[in-house]
Structures are given as structure tokens and as C-alpha cells.
Amino acid sequence: MLQRGGTLRHGDLLQSDDGAIVEVHAAPQTLSIACTQDPFLFARACYHLGNRHVPLQIGEGWVRYEHDHVLDEMVSELGLEVSCEKAPFEPEAGAYNQGSGGGHHHHH
């Protein structure tokens, strides 16, 4: 049994009562990725996406979200380069969920 409210992340390992170990693999899905080296443009894009309560996966100079042509156009108009890709999606857990799997911890 898994603890309620936890988040499984790609690469997490689960061990059954009989000792079998299973690795979690996130399924690829269609995502938009917006990139810029300008920290001001990046902050603006994250602000506007977050203001729409869009789950985001944030990296250094890039942000991923579930593909949406309307959001792609908005982010592009803000000055970011937007492309589409198939990849696992691991959005931020949120400020109030950091204790339940946020931050990519591997609990065995």
C-alpha cells in the first residue's frame, strides 16, 4: 500500500512485500516547451501561465506545459521560442504540496 497523497515521479522505485522492485516510468505526452535566455521574459511567461493555473515543469531557461495552441501563442507573443515535443511531464508539485513528493525525492 502506498501512502495517500504522495506523488510518484519518473525513476522512483517501489518495493513490494515480497521484495520485488518496480521502477516508475512516466509516459511521454504531447508538451509545449518554451525557451529563452532572458530571465525577465522567462519570469513573465511563468507568471502568465501560472496565473492561468497551468501545471508547469520548470527548468533553466525553459518551461514545459501540456500542449495548448492558445497558450503557445500567448507565450510566443511574450518573446519566447515555443516548440512541441513528446516527453514525460513532471510538473511542479506546488508550494503547499512540497512535503508529499515534490522536489523529486526517491523513497524506497
Question: In the numeric block, which cell numbers belong to residue 88?
Answer: 514525460
53: which DSSP letter? T
pLDDT at 97: 58
**pTM of this structure:** 0.74
Instruction: Give the number of domains in the chain.
Output: 1
3: which DSSP letter? P
What CATH number did the domain enclosing 74 receive? 3.30.70.790
Q: Does residue 8 sit within a domain? A: no
Q: Does residue 46 sit within a domain? A: yes
| pLDDT tens, position by position, 2-31 | 778 777 888 889 998 899 999 998 899 999
**Considering the chain, what percentage of its residues have pLDDT values greater than 70?**
86
37: which DSSP letter? S
pLDDT at 46: 95
